[in-house]
Amino acid sequence: QMAPGRTLNVQGVLDARGTPAAPIIITSLQANFTPRYIGCFYESDPTQSSNHDLSGPFLTNASSTMSSCLQYCYDQGFPYAGVRAAQYCLCGRTYGQLSSAQGDSQCYYQCSGNSTQKCGGPYSSSVWATGAGLWNQVAIGG
């Protein structure tokens, strides 16, 4: 018997049984998530302002790609990633706080590390869902 709120890490098969009075809730990280493009959103300059749409950590990387930014933000546990001005990788827990979607015509810069990818614009970020923090829950019993 485990105390409420305790975490059990399992690799392989888990046989768990619950009752209507004491259901077991199994929470697992969603597997096989494919990053999804959300849209182009206004973003302030991360080096000049503290008011950002994607307000988590950011990287300045002259060889950035959308893929490397997605991986960085995912590894940091952020559900959203965006690239602004072809060189700034920004992470966040929310997006769209500074504006609604602008349309892809405002995110026309080519990524400095991969010219086939679009990496935002001078005042906008190409925003993607990374898949971080997406969980499945299953109740057994109850």
Residues 6+ apart with CB under 8 A from 15: none
Does 142 score more than 90 pLDDT? no
How far is it, in rounded angstroms, from Cα 13 to Cα 24?
16
Is the whole-model pTM more than 0.85? no
- Residues of the chain with pLDDT > 70: what percent? 64
Q: Which residue has the higher pLDDT, 80 or 65?
A: 80
pLDDT of residue 11: 47
The helix or strand, by DSSP H or E, that contains position 66, with its residue range, turns out to be helix 66-75
**pLDDT value of residue 121:** 92
88, 81 contact by CB (below 8 A): no
